[in-house]
């Protein structure tokens, strides 16, 4: 039986589960029944502390959503004096292979790119070669996993490189996270003193300029909201989007949504992500600002 605990509420929240649950669960029930897959959701209003959650502690493959944390680690190393944004990172045509790499391919004739451009390409266009080059500079998947542990995230782990990380069996636990833990890590990255103001600003700007999230959570959010996100997909059953959202400058939200399994279509992906965006707006924002 599909679990109906989409609404996780703090004691201060005025909406009761009994009133909210039927409206909230309909879209998620329909997606899971119609596709045979699962969806995990965690969304939090950082001012009120109110949350929406569904399968928030279940594991999902991260796919490219790991790139937001990867770039955060690169920026942390820059803040620590271990890296520089303008450092030149060389690569060759052989490094490109058959990997999705629109940015790296466009700069291949130059023989390399700056760390700044690699970060921008990894987030804004989800370039896999950019991500692999950055991953090599920070110490590989193990180093990124250690970074998550330093944030208090004991769940998220990266074991492989692009593109292998998108196709590992879920039963192995490799390259996975949960909606709640990824949301918590993103919150600490963007809303703590981990990074300098300059680095947080850079990361936020790159997330806001992400080109791959237009048909995910942004679909269900008002166009006048400020949204930054990082998507992920394996081209089959997995679609993911993690986002930081400002309905107004003083009220940030963190959102984390993952799918897995079944045979969803692109239209079904767009429908569920837009519905989640609208539900988050209704229950975490409209009644609080």
* pLDDT of 252 strictly over 80: yes
Q: What is the DSSP string of 236-262?
A: SS-EEEEEEEEEETTEEEEEEEEEESS
pLDDT of residue 27: 86
Q: Under CATH, to which class is 17-285 assigned?
A: alpha beta
Mean pLDDT computed over 184-197:
99
Mean pLDDT computed over 139-152:
99
The pLDDT mean for the chain works out to: 92
- Paired with 259 in beta bridges are 39
High-pLDDT (> 70) share of the chain, %: 91
* pLDDT of 204 strictly over 70: yes
Question: Which are the catalytic amino acids?
Answer: 64
Phi, psi of 26, deg, nearest 5? -55, -50
d(CA 195, CA 183): 17
Q: What is the dihedral of CA 211, 72, 161, 214, to 10 degrees?
A: -20
pLDDT of residue 269: 98
Residue ranges of domains in the chain: 17-285
Mean pLDDT computed over 84-89:
99
pLDDT tier for residue 22 given thresholds of 50, 70 and 90: low
């Amino acid at each position: 039986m599909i679990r109906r605990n989409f609404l996780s509420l703090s004691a201060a929240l005025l909406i009761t589960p009994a009133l909210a649950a039927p409206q909230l669960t309909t879209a998620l029930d329909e997606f899971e029944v119609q596709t045979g897959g699962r969806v995990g959701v965690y969304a939090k209003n950082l001012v009120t502390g109110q949350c929406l959650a569904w399968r928030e502690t279940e594991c999902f493959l991260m796919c490219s959503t790991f790139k937001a944390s990867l770039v955060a680690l690169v920026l942390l190393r820059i803040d620590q004096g271990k890296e520089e944004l303008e450092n030149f990172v060389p690569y060759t045509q052989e490094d490109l292979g058959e990997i999705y790499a629109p940015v790296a391919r466009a700069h291949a004739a130059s023989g390399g790119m700056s760390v700044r451009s690699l970060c921008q390409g990894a987030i804004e266009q989800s370039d896999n070669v950019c991500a692999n080059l950055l991953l090599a500079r920070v110490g590989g998947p193990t180093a990124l996993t250690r970074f998550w542990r330093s944030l208090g995230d004991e769940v998220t782990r990266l074991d492989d490189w692009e593109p292998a990380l998108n196709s590992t069996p879920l039963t192995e636990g490799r390259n996975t996270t949960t909606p709640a833990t990824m949301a918590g890590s993103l919150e600490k990255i963007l809303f703590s003193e981990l990074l300098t103001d300059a680095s947080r600003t850079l990361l936020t700007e790159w997330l806001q300029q992400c080109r791959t999230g237009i048909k995910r959570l942004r679909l269900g959010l008002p166009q006048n909201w400020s949204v930054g996100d990082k998507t992920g997909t394996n081209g089959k059953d997995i679609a993911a989007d993690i986002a930081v959202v400002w309905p107004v400058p003083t009220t940030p939200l963190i959102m984390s949504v993952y799918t897995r399994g079944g045979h969803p279509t692109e239209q079904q992906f767009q429908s569920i992500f837009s519905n989640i965006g609208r539900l988050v707006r209704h229950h975490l924002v409209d009644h609080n600002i």
